[in-house]
Structure 1
């Protein structure tokens, strides 16, 4: 491997969907760009997902706006990069078991629609038609959003990385960052490089990377595990990704069902958690009652305190961050890359970026205590 360049206009740390999107869009805009990845491309949070991009995020229309724009970019991705993503519409459904959840949906729907999100309320019977495994007696209604697609995250990373390199970016894997000086000099085992701007897109390691630069980024790694069932007794067709208020989510995965439901509580063993997942699975989807659950894959997410991403610039250092996507980076990567690109170019963004920076987590941004 050749030595690192002595300097670069922009240095992106992290080779997942966010980092490669940022690198590609910066390089295509004529910005000298270097990307450093500590392992292999896409080996972090980008490889620990359910492989679905969606536009509806309950109670979070701002994330929905980023996801709508990103979904549009994914539809054009093959023409742009030559890399097919295998997009297949599956839809996304959120189940409601209490009337107050329906009321919350109605209060949020106008904001979602203003953000371009296609979502509507459906009856329990309609929900059961969309997901035939569902026991409609276990819910009162559901939110249905057709704009959700299965995809190949590894292809997204490959496509963006190839586009970045074609536009002149330097991409280095197996190159962890060991230090970041106040002037933007970045140190690695392969040498150091002076960056006009350092961009942190390191997923679960973003908080650690930011700390190397003396920046407080309130992002922490959060373990996640996805499970796979045995093949159901009756083969199932493609099901929508379906989210239950318990946090149970399912989707079809070849001849099996992919299952997620958080992680064990601090005082809960993995075996007890698996029993809890199995009980909830059987109660919501009777055809899956008692079906065996197996470890699918596990990893870590870059979790923010409120579950929404941070995109912004440190006021005192040449340091930009795009992190804290809390498992939804796949759904927002193209739009996040555009925001970072425009930030570096000093151009107005396509969206109002107020509220994306870490300022929203500062003590001054918190609501006052009331008695």
Structure 2
């Protein structure tokens, strides 16, 4: 790999982590971002770092490893990032949901996740905003923290630059020729010794130019809403990040109200917002009638099983990919960067990376 740098395509938190880990390992690295750093999916997050991903112990294992890296982030970037503990509460209303949690629990524990089943009374004590909605039990994981995505993006960028990486913004990559290692970029042609595709929602079409197929769905636009304060004027208590499993309604405290998400808006954005308001009022009656407005929007990539694709394809110019994070990128970016570095060098990763490859079985 001597004919040029490793070219990382994408300047979100995952691409920056990959560039940082490669540069720190002594690899000549250039990162190419079409816009500003952190301007894609990384700008539309709830700023929460958590380790528990229900039904997805692979992402959970990545997140456990990443949380450890975030706790020592100052050693890498020169500045610590905030990690305010809030915990993660997942509400179950059906016996099938409780059974699925119990079936998943051994794998989650093996991944290092601290999570347990609590009864409905404890769940209501942890989130006193809950109304009289059906509630059998809940999953409780203390390892969820409000952080600062912009600080993480900036920290990885600073660490990558310190290690010698060249970070180029406003530099879109239009096509990749794997046979020659040539990239058609906004700054002209670039010849790379290896290519790392971490372009988020643009990963699939970019990989296709390199005659590589990543089984990603169409890019989806994420929208998070700001709600509150309550019309009564009562302050919102310090509630944990809470997922209402039956509806997908996800909230965390933000300022004097809540930050709210519920799936993806789709083409009928106003209809989706109306459904969010309706569900919010049902689950949290104190917020019925509160102002609900757009907080953030951003385009995301998604894999069929909502687990990230990370792997390496053979060829004259190695093609590595880290995509399909399905909204988990902030939680798993440090581990993803480690894995890209190990795959670049052909090392055996410290965890089961084969389960992350884009194989036909996962489509």
Taking structure 1 as the reference length, the TM-score comes to: 0.92
**Partner residue, 1:336:** 336
CA distance in 2, matches of 1:209, 1:59: 30
CA distance in 2, matches of 1:328, 1:160: 17
**Partner residue, 1:347:** 347
What's the CA shift for 1:226? Answer: 0.7
**Partner residue, 1:240:** 240
CA distance in 2, matches of 1:155, 1:320: 26
1:184 pairs with 2:181: yes
Deviations 1:231-257 (A, max 9, x none): 122112332110112110000111121
Structure 1, unaligned stretches of length 5 or more? 1-5
Contact residue 304 and residue 362 of structure 2 kept, 8 A = no
What's the CA shift for 1:192? Answer: 1.5
1:124 pairs with 2:120: yes
Task: Give SS of 1:12's match.
Answer: strand
What's the CA shift for 1:306? Answer: 1.1
Contact residue 48 and residue 147 of structure 2 kept, 8 A = yes
Q: 1:116 to 1:136 in 2, by over 3 A?
A: farther
**Partner residue, 1:262:** 263
Structure 2, unaligned stretches of length 5 or more? none
Contact residue 124 and residue 137 of structure 1 kept, 8 A = no
Number of matched pairs = 356
CA distance in 1, matches of 2:4, 2:154: 22
**Partner residue, 1:13:** 9
Greater displacement, 332-341 / 270-279 = 270-279
What's the CA shift for 1:191? Answer: 1.6
Task: Give SS of 1:8's match.
Answer: coil
Say what the alpha-carbon RMSD is for the aligned residues.
1.6
Task: Give the alignment of 1:296-335 within 5 angstroms.
Answer: 296-316=295-315, 318-335=318-335
Taking structure 2 as the reference length, the TM-score comes to: 0.94
**Partner residue, 2:229:** 231
Contact residue 131 and residue 285 of structure 2 kept, 8 A = yes
Greater displacement, 54-63 / 135-144 = 135-144
Task: Give the alignment of 1:157-306 within 5 angstroms.
Answer: 157-182=153-178, 183-219=180-216, 220-232=218-230, 233-245=233-245, 246-264=247-265, 269-306=268-305
CA distance in 2, matches of 1:35, 1:138: 49
**Partner residue, 1:46:** 42
Task: Give SS of 1:46's match.
Answer: helix
Contact residue 179 and residue 213 of structure 1 kept, 8 A = yes
